[in-house]
Structure 1
Amino acid sequence: MGLGSIGTAVLFVGAGFSVIVTMASNILNGVVTALIFGAFLLTVAVKDKHGQSLLMRATTRVGWMVTKSTGTHIYRSGPLGRAEWGTAQLPGLAAGSRLTEWHDSYNRPFALLQIPTTSDYTVVIETEPDGAALVDREQVDVWVAEWGMWLAGLGDEPGIEAVSVTIETAPDTGTRLRREVNSRIDPEAADFAKNILHDLVKQYPAGSATIKAFVAITFNAAARVGGKKRTPDEMGRELASRLPGLTQSLSSTGAGATRPLSAQELCEVIRVAYDPAAARLIDDANAAGEPPELYWPEVGPTAHQANWDTYRHDSALSVTWMMSGAPRGNVPSSILARLLAPHRDVARKRVTLLYRPIDAAKAAAIVEADVRASTFNLQSSNKPTARSMTATRAALATAQEEASGAGLVNFGMLVTATVTGAAHEADAKAAIDNLSATARLRLRIVHGSQDSAFAAALPLGLVLPKHVRIPSEIREQL
């Protein structure tokens, strides 16, 4: 029936209670009691293609109605807004975040983002992926293997809570190209050659895109379960010595040149995400050698409104999807290529992979439980289905790899499409639906919490399971 531990317990309790009511009263009352329990179990057992039960969808709808009735889906900041001190602080899950800057062992500045509500600290690393174009197949295989080893090593790193990888595509303003060309033009060159270069600088940015990649590593304030929580000063000093090793090992995965983001750079990334119209102004200021002085309490939107399936923020409108089903079968390294590439119908696209490393001590128990469950399902049927046989083989392969030293991680994906207005919303949704099909992904729009999903897709290191009221362990057992 697809029931979890709690659902199965409710089934047995309902059956027993119905028998007791029948014996104590009459059969009619017993039937009514059984129907009540049956109706509840039906809301849990009946699920759609995304694995959402009727109970979960009803709970989401009720929660959204409460959000609208209280007006918490609308946010206004600034001098005339509702935020304290008249600032434009980040809304929602990141409202209480604090930003400080430190220097690592290589004397590189890095931003340290603190989330007090969950006692987490995040550092963001900017990467310049090499790409797979004109690269030998053997080299790509090495990068994939190194990435797997890097993820496996996270389970052994003390205090690491989660890792997110964000790939963002956006229109190129042309500022960097203009600055690079102008700095290399010879003043004594022929006018014809200089005119050609100037024409190229004007025409090339039209329709071109820029691709940025960020890796956010989230650490828990306590190095171990039950340990003492460390202060921001203690975390800053510790991460200053650990960050060079993390960036160096990340470079071997095909991430290219890696460096931590400074506080100013992180402020620019988040500011542009909430207000894409500010991208050109920030690029022009950096090109002129006068970077804007942004402060963390000022990088949020001046206004936002979260709707059932869209999110309006400052100068743009965004829609965020979540992955409800990973690709089945063999997964080649290029499966996400089209999803990550720029698309003409989406002004800004952000694909974020979320990883939560599982402790090596717990990984063995998890894979063995999966093997027992899949084997039981296979042997309980006289005619096992192809899907159950495939699941059993996959569980056995995972257990064998884990026993050989491979790491185990929980992973997910968020995809955010940002457009300049509501007129382009339908085109963006159709584009993401088509791109998800090429990646063999099953995506669903995040209903009722678009603002939280948008923030989680940013390189802020937000760990979503730690922000929900009902623990994920309980929801999975329904």
Structure 2
Amino acid sequence: MRTYGGWRRRRGIGLLGLDTTSTFLALGAAMVLVLVAAAAPWLLIYLLPPALIGGGLGLIRVEGVPLALLLLARCRWRWAVLRGHNRYRAGVVIDHPRAFQLPGVLAPLTLLSAEDGYGGRYGIVWDRRTGLLTATLRVVPASTWLADRADADTWVAAWGGWLAALGHMPAVRWVTVTIDTAPEPGSTLVDTVDKAIDPAAPEAARTIMSELVRTAPAAAADVDTRVSVTFDPRASAASPRDLFEAVADLGRTLDGLASRLGGCGVSVLGRATAAETAGAVRTAFDPHARGEINRILAGSGADEVLTWCDAGPVAAIEHTGHYEHDGGVSVSWAWHEPPRQNVRSDILARLVAPGPFPKRVTLQYRALPAAAASRVLQQEVNAAAFRAQFRRRTGRDETARDSWDSARARQAAAEEAMGAGVCLVSMYATVTVTDPEQLRRAVAHVDASAEAAKIRLRRLWGSQAAGFATTLPCGICPSELSRRLLH
């Protein structure tokens, strides 16, 4: 049975679980204490308490996160709540072009509609703050349970090659793969059966069909798989001068990516239209509207009926552990730790499978440039060697995890030297309920599914709105947002 693995958390030259910057700060503080002890020992009475408090805040960890970062996040959250930044109210009756602006990190986004060069149109989410463009490909994955094991292995290898090719495309910032599942609202089946029923049919036959339509949604599911590509025109080799040239360059890039994606075990349905993108966002904010949105998208003229102004919620409130929005309450998680062992290709089947609640599972890939991947991996190998040398000098034994991490770092460097690509991978999951009383059950369902997938998810305390937005086809990247805040 073929298995897969090789992922590891990035670790710099850090000691005692600290990152590189924190390690050098700790060593600098220790050096200052040594110099003060040599020159004026009486000053240690004033310096030791702050040093011990700072060391405790940096070394004590809660679920792998330093206590100092948790306290900082909690203070920032309290400050944001006091200023009302966790609440959103749309100006429904205001005659203003931005009356329906989306909340939070989605506020700078707008939706464009562009020609695809084949007589159709597709939607592009444009970030007016950064200039990034995000287009979505609609795909239908093939089930590995119904395919030969050799075919599944071929699909995984092709997917690895597809990701490796992103390292040679500097304009592609990240790729977001989202599996959106929900109980079928029944609208599609109702519309289809109503059109097919003959009014002259026997009453018993019409009764049977009506009963089947009524009970079928309980056993059916609405599944949508999306591959969103976020494009940075400033990094493109074509150097587009304006938005029109940037959109044309994005279209050419999508053609190449879509043609190679067909060999990865999915059927590419095409590019998502502007109405489909707006509908996905609207359905996420208002799960009750799923049936109506499906009807609109199945008809003609959806682009005129369903616009970006209709995508956002009327009201939204972000709490520490959940997110309230139109007609629903959502909880979001992030990938905290990958599987510690090699896994099979269907390891995520339980997590992404349809369940009793609307759910979105997102995998985000940020490919390192091919020119920088070798340097980054060599730094990881050097950092592992530094930590091993430090343990030997201090007389500490090597743990099993240290040995495994060092072996993984060398393995990644060797595979990159043979042509493999290097990606930074993150995972996000969001579950939504329409009844707040069902929230605990939904959370337990996702936690159990993650355990079956041998991964650890960490609830995004204080960042529920950002996690919710990440699972939408809008090109949101939490790591990019945090970097932007630091600057």
The two structures share one fold, judged by TM-score above 0.5 = yes
- Aligned position for 1:56: 69
- Aligned position for 1:77: 90
Using the TM superposition, give the Cα deviation of residue 6 of structure 1 relative to its aligned residue in structure 2, in angstroms: 2.0
Q: How many residues align?
A: 467
Match of 1:331 among 311, 327, 343: 343
Following superposition of structure 1 onto structure 2, how do residues 407-422 of structure 1 map, counting pairs within 5 Å? 407-422=421-436
Rate the CA distance shift 1:176–1:98 in 2: closer, same or farther, 3 A.
Answer: same
- Aligned position for 1:318: 330
- Check whether the contact 1:419–1:428 (CA below 8 A) recurs between aligned residues: yes
Match of 1:156 among 168, 177, 194: 168
Using the TM superposition, give the Cα deviation of residue 420 of structure 1 relative to its aligned residue in structure 2, in angstroms: 0.6
Q: Hey, what's the Cα distance between the residues in 1 that align with 2:434 and 2:441? A: 12
- Aligned position for 1:352: 362
1:365 aligns with 2:380: no
Question: Please, which runs of 5 or more residues in structure 2 have no aligned partner?
Answer: 1-15
Using the TM superposition, give the Cα deviation of residue 98 of structure 1 relative to its aligned residue in structure 2, in angstroms: 1.8
- Aligned position for 2:250: 239
Amino acid in the other structure paired with 1:119 = G
Using the TM superposition, give the Cα deviation of residue 190 of structure 1 relative to its aligned residue in structure 2, in angstroms: 7.2
- Check whether the contact 2:188–2:291 (CA below 8 A) recurs between aligned residues: no
Alignment identity in percent? 33
SS in 2 for 1:249: helix
1:107 aligns with 2:127: no
SS in 1 for 2:342: coil
Using the TM superposition, give the Cα deviation of residue 138 of structure 1 relative to its aligned residue in structure 2, in angstroms: 0.6
Match of 1:284 among 254, 275, 295: 295
Match of 1:67 among 80, 96, 119: 80
- Aligned position for 1:5: 20
Q: Hey, what's the Cα distance between the residues in 2 that align with 1:368 and 1:273? A: 42
Question: Please, which runs of 5 or more residues in structure 1 have no aligned partner?
Answer: none
Q: Hey, what's the Cα distance between the residues in 2 that align with 1:71 and 1:471? A: 19
Match of 1:15 among 27, 30, 48: 30
Q: Hey, what's the Cα distance between the residues in 2 that align with 1:288 and 1:214? A: 21
Of residues 107-116 and 66-75 in structure 1, the stretch that sits farther from structure 2 once superposed is 107-116
Rate the CA distance shift 1:194–1:298 in 2: closer, same or farther, 3 A.
Answer: closer
SS in 2 for 1:334: coil
Following superposition of structure 1 onto structure 2, how do residues 17-416 of structure 1 map, counting pairs within 5 Å? 17-25=32-40, 27-49=41-63, 51-79=64-92, 85=97, 87-181=99-193, 196-223=208-235, 230-287=241-298, 291=302, 293-344=305-356, 347-379=357-389, 380-381=391-392, 383-416=397-430
SS in 1 for 2:226: strand
Amino acid in the other structure paired with 1:56 = L
Q: Hey, what's the Cα distance between the residues in 1 that align with 2:164 and 2:443? A: 34
Following superposition of structure 1 onto structure 2, how do residues 421-440 of structure 1 map, counting pairs within 5 Å? 421-440=435-454
Amino acid in the other structure paired with 2:408 = A
Following superposition of structure 1 onto structure 2, how do residues 438-453 of structure 1 map, counting pairs within 5 Å? 438-453=452-467
Using the TM superposition, give the Cα deviation of residue 324 of structure 1 relative to its aligned residue in structure 2, in angstroms: 1.1
Amino acid in the other structure paired with 2:384 = S
- Check whether the contact 2:136–2:228 (CA below 8 A) recurs between aligned residues: yes
Q: Hey, what's the Cα distance between the residues in 2 that align with 1:172 and 1:446? A: 28
Rate the CA distance shift 1:288–1:463 in 2: closer, same or farther, 3 A.
Answer: closer
Once the two structures are superposed, what CA deviation does each residue of 1:412-462 show, in whole Å capped at 9, x if it has no partner?
011101001221111111111111111111111111121111111111111
Q: Hey, what's the Cα distance between the residues in 2 that align with 1:442 and 1:461? A: 24
Using the TM superposition, give the Cα deviation of residue 283 of structure 1 relative to its aligned residue in structure 2, in angstroms: 2.5
Amino acid in the other structure paired with 2:29 = G
Q: Hey, what's the Cα distance between the residues in 1 that align with 2:373 and 2:453? A: 28
SS in 2 for 1:256: strand
- Check whether the contact 1:367–1:399 (CA below 8 A) recurs between aligned residues: yes
Of residues 9-18 and 158-167 in structure 1, the stretch that sits farther from structure 2 once superposed is 9-18
SS in 2 for 1:123: strand
Q: Hey, what's the Cα distance between the residues in 2 that align with 1:184 and 1:401? A: 56
- Check whether the contact 2:122–2:271 (CA below 8 A) recurs between aligned residues: yes
- Check whether the contact 1:159–1:223 (CA below 8 A) recurs between aligned residues: yes
SS in 1 for 2:287: coil
Rate the CA distance shift 1:84–1:414 in 2: closer, same or farther, 3 A.
Answer: farther
- Check whether the contact 1:155–1:360 (CA below 8 A) recurs between aligned residues: yes
Amino acid in the other structure paired with 1:40 = G
Using the TM superposition, give the Cα deviation of residue 154 of structure 1 relative to its aligned residue in structure 2, in angstroms: 0.9
SS in 1 for 2:265: helix
Using the TM superposition, give the Cα deviation of residue 216 of structure 1 relative to its aligned residue in structure 2, in angstroms: 0.6
- Check whether the contact 2:183–2:355 (CA below 8 A) recurs between aligned residues: no
SS in 1 for 2:189: helix
SS in 1 for 2:420: coil
Rate the CA distance shift 1:331–1:471 in 2: closer, same or farther, 3 A.
Answer: farther
- Check whether the contact 2:101–2:309 (CA below 8 A) recurs between aligned residues: yes
SS in 2 for 1:467: helix
- Check whether the contact 2:240–2:246 (CA below 8 A) recurs between aligned residues: no
- Check whether the contact 1:248–1:258 (CA below 8 A) recurs between aligned residues: no
Of residues 427-436 and 242-251 in structure 1, the stretch that sits farther from structure 2 once superposed is 242-251
Q: CA RMSD in A?
A: 2.5
